[in-house]
Chains A and B, each alone.
Chain A
Amino acid sequence: MSTTTDENAVVKEVQPLEEATVRFCGDSGDGMQLAGTQFSNTSALAGNDIATFPDFPAEIRAPRGTLAGVSGFQIHFASHDIYTPGETVDALVAMNPAALKTNLADLKSNGVLILNSDAFDKKALGQAGYESNPIEDDSLSGYQVFSMPMTSMTRGAVDGLDLSVKESDRCRNFFAMGLVFWLFGRSMDPTLRFIDAKFSKVPSIAEANRRALKAGYNFGETTDAFRSSYTVEKAKLPAGTYRNMTGNQALAWGLMTAAKLSGKKLFLGSYPITPASDILHELSKYKNFDVLTFQAEDEIAAICSAIGAAYGGEMALTTTSGPGMALKGEAMGLAMMLELPLVIVDVQRGGPSTGLPTKTEQADLLQVMFGRNGESPIPVIAASSPADCFDVAIEAWRLATRFMTPIVVLTDGYIANGSEPWRIPNVADLPKIRVTHPGPRDENDPPFLPYQRNEELARPWAVPGTPGLMHRVGGLEKQDGTGNVSYDPHNHHHMCVTRAQKVANIADVVPAQEVMGAESGKVLVVSWGGTYGACRTAVARLQAQGKSVSHAHVRYMNPFPKNLGQLISQFDKVLVPELNLGQMRLLLRSKYLVDAVGLNKVQGKPFTTTEIAEKIESLLG
């Protein structure tokens, strides 16, 4: 990016860009998440491909002005397909010195830096650790600095609305938004509509936000400071109707869709936990879709209530994050033993223990694979991006009902809160999920056998209320077929093997693992979950340079696709980038005896494309 240097220019230049990355940052009470969300939605509506990365502290309002209290929202938008929220930032909006301090390192050299000069007072500078005001010294000379008194200009804009100083100042984020909207040639209309809807009950606040937004926009247009604005053309995405979706929303909608496709009510048992709560919030809005949401007294009751609903014959769901998964372990084992369908969603966050609640990580894989007593196989599938959460949710319920098993869906804080365009499917084209329940029997029929299995080893889903099918399920080992309690040693062995084989059979019905690039070569990058975008982008970049590297992104984590071992064996080296200390790598090494190499990071942040590309290059030698 660059600006013109002609001091006399009146008509401002509009520079076309292929892509740009913008980050809003400020105090956690400054409304940066809202600013980021509005800019994302507006960019998506303008036809760009987008990827977003909200990043905020665990505290609702950390002490004002501190480094720990900085909240940020990054948006990457482009006129072509993109898969990551961007690495370095083209334009940074910093609402206070702490935000500047913690975010400046990510701003490109000569990047646009928009500052609220009103916030750079002595106290705030001191809190951020600045000895002198960076706006006034020459420490920011490597950037295009646009410093303006946003607080006073916002107060001026809302003057006469009879608002308190505090209320006026809370409109500052709309001023900043307006300015960035102008800078990237965005329409204010979607945000004006949002303001109308959101603040319909408080007209004075609605008006204040409208005024602040327009004041920011007009300031950009009229001030001499900005000599040019930018434009990013529409992306050439596959034809269709799109909307912007976060991962949590896409997951919730996918689950509702799965319920409809299978003709079931959806019962959610959940307990609030970051970063999964938004799924509970979202589903609570759609009770007219036959959605029952039960906010349980704890994580254990949440899953147990869902298992109760599953026994009752409805679609059962529980949603949580890592610490909640730890509490659900015993009940997951029971669901596995009962062989009832249940979707268990784990939106992973930084662990261990309470860890980093608002940050992202992929470190629950081994917990969901093995975190139960006894031989307790449960299938696991992982979503790769916000929009993919929709498809994964439907796939999870399809597999759970077909194989009569609980199933874990792994997402993470990064894709749960991030958003991207979602191509709206044609509902009529979505394949139905066929669920059958055995019908009534009378006394002349042979006795009902609740654990009599089909050829895939799934047992029948007999629901209470059906005459003649009365049966008891429970956590004690059962005799195969009858389901009666059995302590027979050979039966126990047989049942453990059978339950494991049933889960293994899922590999027969899931798609073969796809690979991006050649099916043999020097390096294969194997990834899963939210690292998809960074891995794909890095591999594509190196492939364009003629490098021998391919990419396999795995959705089916347990069981792995049948051809994965064969695929891996065709490469000299296997790289497994993960936001953990090598969990999938452990599984791959043990299953395929492959000397896979890890790229591991647990910083609460997603990979950058460069980190992955550099590691691949080092392996290529």
Chain B
Amino acid sequence: MASAELPVLKPADYGTDQDVRWCPGCGDYSILAQMKKVMSTLNMSRENTVFVSGIGCSSRFPYYMNTYGMHSIHGRAPAFATGLKSARQDLTVFVITGDGDSLSIGGNHLMHVLRRNVNLNIILFNNRIYGLTKGQYSPTSEQGKVTKSTPMGSIDNPIHPLSVAISCEATFVARSIDVHTKHLQETLERAVGHKGVSFVEVYQNCNVFNDGAYKWATDKDSKSDTVLELEHGKPMIFGKDRDKGIRLNGMTPEVVELGKGISEDDLLFHDAKSTEPTLAYMLTRMSHPEFPEPIGVLRDLDAPCYDDAINYQVQHAKETRGEADLEKLFNSGDTWVVE
């Protein structure tokens, strides 16, 4: 991925000459900009990087990156990426997807790519709406949402992307926000550095069809009280004055105020390395407005990768059974000669 002998590329060197066709003000612009910065910071090779996407606004992403890329079909990007990474382990492969792409039509593939732990970086742009089809509710839209296809309000129970990721045993699970540029860069850098599947949910604003969906998390005045920045090994503290925390009460989390007999030691400490997924799952369930919503890395574990294993079997077969020999294969077992 990083290559010392190459000249250092600037963020702009990772962009193409194609006109970016997202709506002005779309959160995707920020994600694109942070991705270019991350690639530049990590000095990633353009020719050894592939962006694979599905269908939707976010999935136009590969066209704007001066790397290899595939804009595939709706929901299936994880499957393309699995084949590509298995065949070409030398490449760094990103999957760019949206909430409809990965959790509705592509829900099946997301589940399987996560549980297989293919060494990919999956970035899910979650704007809680269908943008490219002009404003229908998505699988992450809140219940009661009025859209073109739900004039009386959505009756679907929404899905939580990170809950899905944890229950599929994803080895790297993180969340960031489109306009928290620094946090987003750091999160993407860590995702790239993780060996195994990295799943990053990015809260992304669709200013045309679902404007302000994350206003509570981006407003200068409110964000410190509504967002919990996770740090491994640190207590879960939030609030403008860093005076609030998360404590476990039996099996349930609760918001407590520090002081008044409650110290940092009483709070829950974040452990991204815990192999036991229960606390990580609990974090994925903490939702605004009852709780501050966690951002950062929820889970970061080392585990064998699918692409390593599939290639190891090939190597192992060669070592134990010898290199391919068609002549020998064809003439093995029962044969007979006709003179």
Contact = CB atoms under 8 A, between A and B. Distances in A.
A312 B330 contact: no
Interface string B100-135: 000000001101100000000000000000000000
Contacts of A314: 87-88
B47 A469 contact: yes
A257 interface: yes
Interface string A60-90: 0000000000000000000000000000000
B289 to A, nearest CB: 37
B50 to A, nearest CB: 5
A142 interface: no
B48 A464 contact: yes
B80 A311 contact: yes
Nearest to B76: A304
Contacts of A331: 73, 76
A291 B316 CA distance: 12
Given A44-B336, A309-B86, A260 B313 contact: no
Contacts of A473: 69-71
Contacts of A311: 50, 68, 70, 80, 84
A437 interface: no
Contacts of A309: 83-84, 86-88
Interface stretch (A96-104, A126-134, A238-246, A599-607): A238-246
B87 A292 contact: yes
Given A257-B326, A288-B321, A312-B84, A474 B62 contact: yes
Contacts of B318: 287-288
Contacts of B66: 470
B326 A304 contact: no
B79 A243 contact: no
Interface string A211-241: 0000000000000000000000011111111
Contacts of B326: 256-257, 260, 427
A427 B327 contact: yes
A464 B71 contact: no
Contacts of A475: 55, 71-73
Given A300-B79, A465-B47, A241 B335 contact: yes
B72 A474 contact: yes
A494 interface: no
A447 to B, nearest CB: 10
A238 B86 contact: no
Contact of B314 (A237, A243, A288, A306): A288
B336 A47 contact: yes
A425 B326 CA distance: 10
A308 interface: yes
A330 B73 contact: yes
B71 A45 contact: no
Contact of B324 (A238, A290, A464): A290
A289 B316 CA distance: 11
Contacts of B322: 288
Interface residues of A, number: 71
B80 A287 contact: no
A251 B324 CA distance: 17
A294 B82 CA distance: 9
B68 A292 contact: no
Nearest to B6: A467
Nearest to A440: B47
Interface residues of B, number: 62
Contacts of A424: 330-331, 335
A497 to B, nearest CB: 23
Given A298-B108, A465-B91, A45 B336 contact: yes
A239 B88 contact: no
B338 A316 contact: no
B337 interface: yes
Contact of B329 (A253, A330, A474): A253
Interface string A287-325: 111111010111011101111110111101000000000
A314 B79 CA distance: 16
A347 B68 CA distance: 34
B310 interface: yes
Interface in A310-346: 311-314, 316, 330-331, 334, 338
Contact of A305 (B63, B65, B82): B82
A257 to B, nearest CB: 6
A53 to B, nearest CB: 21
A464 to B, nearest CB: 4
Contacts of A304: 72-73, 76, 79-80, 83, 109
Nearest to A265: B87
Given A234-B338, A241-B335, A308 B83 contact: yes
Interface string B298-339: 000000000000110110111011111011011101111111
Contacts of B86: 267, 292, 294, 305, 309
B46 interface: yes
Contacts of A47: 336, 338
A468 interface: yes
Nearest to B312: A287
Given A238-B338, A294-B310, A465-B48, A312 B18 contact: no
Nearest to B77: A304
A236 B339 CA distance: 9
Nearest to B63: A472
A190 B334 contact: yes
Contact of B88 (A260, A306, A465): A465
Given A253-B329, A292-B314, A474 B83 contact: no
A291 B311 CA distance: 9
A308 B76 CA distance: 11
B334 A45 contact: yes
Nearest to A257: B326
B67 interface: yes
A45 B337 CA distance: 9
Contacts of A512: none
A266 to B, nearest CB: 10
A465 B330 contact: no
A198 interface: no
Given A304-B83, A465-B48, A475-B72, A242 B108 contact: no
Nearest to B307: A292
A311 B67 CA distance: 13
A171 to B, nearest CB: 22
Contacts of A44: 334, 336
A371 to B, nearest CB: 15
Nearest to A338: B70
A269 B79 CA distance: 10
A471 B86 CA distance: 20
A269 B50 CA distance: 20
A425 B71 contact: no
A466 interface: yes
A476 interface: yes
A270 B188 CA distance: 32
Nearest to B85: A308
A484 interface: yes
A14 interface: no
Interface string B253-268: 0000000000000000
Given A292-B311, A297-B109, A465-B88, 18 more contacts: A44-B334, A47-B336, A237-B338, A239-B339, A267-B83, A267-B87, A286-B324, A288-B323, A301-B109, A305-B83, A308-B52, A308-B79, A308-B82, A464-B48, A473-B70, A474-B63, A474-B71, A474-B72
- Pairs A-B, 6 closest by C-beta atoms: A474-B71, A308-B83, A305-B83, A308-B84, A304-B79, A301-B79
Interface of B: 16, 18, 46-50, 52, 55, 62-63, 65-73, 76, 78-88, 90-91, 108-109, 111-112, 310-311, 313-314, 316-318, 320-324, 326-327, 329-331, 333-339
8 contacts: A234-B338, A253-B329, A267-B83, A289-B324, A290-B314, A304-B76, A305-B86, A427-B327
